[in-house]
Each structure stands twice: as structure tokens, then as C-alpha cells.
Amino acid sequence: MKPVRYFGVLLFLCLFATSVVRSSPLAVNSPPLLSHDSSFQLPIKFAFLQNNDSIRFALPDSLRRIGDTNNRYTLDTSEFIPWSKYRWADHQMVTLTGDPPRRYTEIQPIPAYTFLGTYVGILAALHYYQEETFWRQSQSFRIRDNFDESLGANYGGHFVAAYFISYVSEQALIASGVSLKLAPIYGAIAGLGYQTYVEVLDGFGTEFSLSPFEVYSQTLGCVYYAASQYSRTLQDLSPKFNYYPSIWFGGEPKAGSQTPIDDYSAWNLWISANISDLSGWKFWPSWLNIAAGYSGRNIGDPGESRVITLALDYDIVKILPDGSPGWNWFRQTLDFFKFPAPGLEWRVTRGGKSVGVFFYLAYPFVKF
């Protein structure tokens, strides 16, 4: 079975590499209609018209008027998107390289090969790690829905993981020279491709199977990320996660879990709401969000329970100081992690019986 798996790895990496070097004909293969110092003059004169006759056209958004008496226009062919246009809700976004994203795809060989090599190395390391744990023993391929096996926490995990991988892939593509218009699309495809690849190999594992609901969840995560590019409301509702070993807060790992990846008793999955931007309230601190979370505790043990949480959340981008491009990108990415904060936790048994509501000073620590 391992040759099949390695062929799958090679196929996925080839597809991702193709997404880096390809782009749409309109964005890459066709150069800008005008050079940077060219202008496209209207009215347009035609040979069959008299010298003073002219035809006027409705201008597309890409044409920017130069306010002179000759009524001339120029095509906006600047190489980069202005920083003012590269935002996420009320955040200023940054890139890995510190350069603004490109308007048209123009692959930069050194960054492209650097990030592609790093990306491939990470994926290969993850594959080897999972090959030695989850997929150590194989069987014939099977599809089996494990609905509620992990109290549903696995679905949230696949959703948030797909969202995060889409973001990282998009950032690598932007740094490699892919246009801002195409990078999120290819990033979401890469995120879905990797997650689906892992799910297919799970189908061959003796202790796993391909779960349709996990596939649905990770697809939703990638679609949510892509859709967020066009919706400020979705940008204000950001998926986040946190992981702390269960023993740190008095719990037990998920029964049968082999690695931190599948120990859903230790993960919390969140949707963090940017209250300041959503509401427009001037009195609300812009760095303070409210997050709704879900997890399972002691999964597989007699005392297992579902956990529904409401907690404060910190907007790390607005709290940590500005710095170098590398630091700013790290700070931006760190905001995907949900840090401990005051919150309420409601625990419910698998059978639906309420265990109680608990207050935490710094969730999931310092319980009252």
C-alpha cells in the first residue's frame, strides 16, 4: 500500500507546484495593455471620422482619469496593490516578504522556489510523521462516517485546519508573485487538496477511515476562507484554535489518541467576533473580541462531555507592537491562536445531561 501513498504525495506536490507557476491568461500570459508610462487617450479617433469627430466609451474601473483639459485617461498598471487596499476587516495585512501584493501574477523565482521547497519539506515531514503513526498499519480502503465519535470536535478541527492551511498557502503564493486576485483561490484549493489527501490515506488506516463529514467540514473551511475575501462580515468572524495537553487543566487525553493531532480532548475550536468592527461601538476596545468555542473533554472515557464556551479574546495584531516585516507577519499569523482569557464553560454529557456552567479566569485554566 505504501507505493500508492507515495504516488499520492507526488501527485499532490505536482498539483501544488502547478498552482504556483500557472495563472489565468488574463492575469499572466497577457501583459498589461499599457506600460507604466503609457496613456490611453480618449476620445478615440478613427480614420473614417472627420478630424474633430470622436467616439466616447464608458470606462471600466481599471481606467483612472487624469484630470487635465485634454480629457485623457490612463490604465492603472501599477505593479503592486496599494497597502490601503490590502486589509482584513479593520486590520492592515502584511506579506511574508514585506512587499505589497501584486496586481498581476509575475512569479519571482527565488522566493517561489524558496517557499515551494519549504512547503514541500513541511508536507513531506507531516506525511512521514503520519506514516509512522496513523498509517503504520494498512487495510483495504473504506468509507465510514465517525459521526460523534469524538463528540463532533473532529469536524471543528478539520474546518479550522483547512482555513489555516488555506491562509498559509495563500501567503506563500503571494510571496512567490501570484496576484492578490488569484492567490486566495489557489490557497483554498491547496488547503482542500492537502486535507483531502490526508483523509483519503486515512481510509487505508486500520484504525481510521475516510469520513464524509470530515470531508464536508474541511471543504467548508476552505470555502469560508475564500468567501471571506469578499465579505467583511466573514472577516470579522475569524476561526481560531488552541491546544494545551489535557493534563495541564486536569483532563484526560482522548482514549486511543496516538498524537496531539488526533487528541481532540486537548483542542478548542473557536469563532472570534471582532465586536468593535461589527458593531461600530466607539466605547468598545478595538483589541477585545468575543469568541464562541467548542470542544470535547475526556473523550472515550466514562466522564466524557461536550464543552461549549464563551470567552473574551485578544486581537494580537492590535496589541503587539509594529516591527520588521517578518515580525509583523508572525504577529498576524499568531492571531489564529486563541490565548487564555476569562470565559464561561458549559459542559454537557454525551447523553445530553448538563454537568454545569463554570467560570474560568484564563480559560481553560484557573477554574472557579
- CB-CB contact of 165 with 241 (8 Å): no
Whole-model pTM? 0.80
- Tens digits of residue pLDDT in 161-190: 999 999 999 999 999 999 999 999 999 999
36-50, 109-123, 208-222: the lowest-pLDDT one = 36-50
For the chain, the structural domain boundaries read 80-230, 236-368
Higher pLDDT: 83 or 62? It is 83
Grid cell 466605547 — which residue?
283
Average pLDDT for residues 321-344, to the nearest whole number? 96
Asked whether the predicted pLDDT for residue 71 surpasses 50, the reply is: no
Tell me the CA distances in angstroms from 14 to 3, 19, 22, 172, one per residue in order: 16, 9, 12, 16
102: phi then psi, degrees, rounded to nearest 5: -90, 150
What's the pLDDT at 65? 39
Higher pLDDT: 197 or 231? It is 231
Average pLDDT for residues 39-65, to the nearest whole number? 39
- Tens digits of residue pLDDT in 10-35: 444 444 444 444 443 333 433 333 33
What's the pLDDT at 103? 95
Residue 82 class from Cβ within 10 Å (0-12 exposed, 13-18 middle, 19+ buried)? exposed
What's the pLDDT at 158? 94
Distance, in Å, from the CA atom of 167 to the CA atom of 179, rounded to the nearest integer, reads: 15
Tell me the CA distances in angstroms from 54 to 33, 38, 46, 143, one per residue in order: 22, 21, 8, 67
What's the pLDDT at 76? 53
- Tens digits of residue pLDDT in 212-244: 999 999 999 999 999 999 999 999 999 999 999
